[in-house]
A and B are shown apart, each in its own frame.
Chain A
Amino acid sequence: MSINANEVVTQMLKAAKQVFAEKWPETQRYAESEITLFTERFIDIEKLRMSGEITEARAKSHIEFQKQSWQTVLLAIQGMSLLLVEEAITAALNAVKDMINTAVGFALL
């Protein structure tokens, strides 16, 4: 039995797209929500400095604190995206598993 390359590509793309369609909006919402929170915090730091409640040195310390925190969020988004790609690849390979195994005559995938 020969392999229909077009059919393999179509099935793999369909499976991968389904994973992204289901999971990506969740990651996107998380990123958007964190961006809003960090923006609000930077505004609060400015307000505290302008009112004289904190010194310039403390304001800088708060900025550094938030920068570290923001970098942690970015790494989490990076990790979640990588996991999503991995999940999409697995789904794509699973989608054509039977077709490929039947064609080659043994359990390749």
Chain B
Amino acid sequence: MLIEKHMAKHLLVYILCILVFSTIGCSYVKPVSVYDEQMDKGITALQKNTEEVLLMIETHQGKVESTYEYHRAYYRQAIIDVSSLKIRAEAIQEDNLSTKMLEQLLNNIIRFEKDHIEGITANEVDLYRGGFNSQFTALLSLELAKKRL
């Protein structure tokens, strides 16, 4: 009777160990990495720079301040900044969601640059602003959610 009770206790511990370690094991392949302050700061700075460009395109139509040439440095820097954040995110954890989100942001910066070379009207600016803000908010919201955990 005593032996049976002893064995039952060991069996219970064994089952619980499997449960606990399988839960811990699963967490090693998490698609969501840990909070990164650099990502938070980098995206916030990029949002500010992007808004400055959009505002100038919107309010200086027909003037040099709205042209691609005038903002060429912004595109170069934005591509460098997002690429750096992407490499950093990938280094923290391979194949995570933030890396994919940054890839999509990069695609949109490249598209924005291509459209700007061709010319952007004031009425189009809100479409770029809205799309970029959705991406910045998405990246920051996920980062803040990681921070809370």
Q: Which residue of B lies closest to A57 (CB)?
A: B118
B window 73-118: CB within 8 A of A? 97-98, 100-101, 104-105, 107-108, 111-112, 114-115, 118
A30 with B112, Cβ < 8 A, contacts A69-B135, A76-B101 known: no
Interface-located stretch among B48-56, B61-69, B140-148: B140-148
A83 and B146 contacting across the interface, CB-CB below 8 Å: yes
B131 and A109 contacting across the interface, CB-CB below 8 Å: no
A58-94: CB near B (< 8 Å → 1, else 0) gives 1001101110111111011011101100110100010
Distance in angstroms from A9 CB to nearest chain B CB is: 13
The CA of A54 and the CA of B105, in the complex, are separated in Å by 23
Q: Which residue of A lies closest to B8 (CB)?
A: A2
Q: Count residues on chain B whose CB falls below 8 Å from chain A CBs.
A: 43
A64 and B111 contacting across the interface, CB-CB below 8 Å: yes
The CA of A66 and the CA of B134, in the complex, are separated in Å by 9
B2 CB–A CB distance under 8 Å: no
Q: Which residue of B lies closest to A87 (CB)?
A: B149
A72 with B127, Cβ < 8 A, contacts A3-B12, A54-B121 known: no
The CA of A24 and the CA of B138, in the complex, are separated in Å by 16
The CA of A73 and the CA of B32, in the complex, are separated in Å by 14
Using Cβ atoms and an 8 Å threshold, which residues of chain A touch B126?
44
B17 and A108 contacting across the interface, CB-CB below 8 Å: yes
Which residue of B105, B123, B142 is within 8 Å of A80 (Cβ)?
B142
- 18 A-B pairs with CB atoms under 8 Å apart are A38-B134, A41-B127, A48-B123, A53-B124, A58-B124, A65-B112, A65-B131, A66-B127, A68-B107, A71-B104, A72-B104, A75-B101, A76-B139, A79-B146, A82-B30, A83-B32, A103-B12, A108-B13
> A residues bordering B, Cβ < 8 Å?
3, 30, 34, 37-38, 40-41, 44-45, 48, 53-54, 58, 61-62, 64-66, 68-73, 75-76, 78-80, 82-83, 86-87, 89, 93, 100, 103-104, 108-109
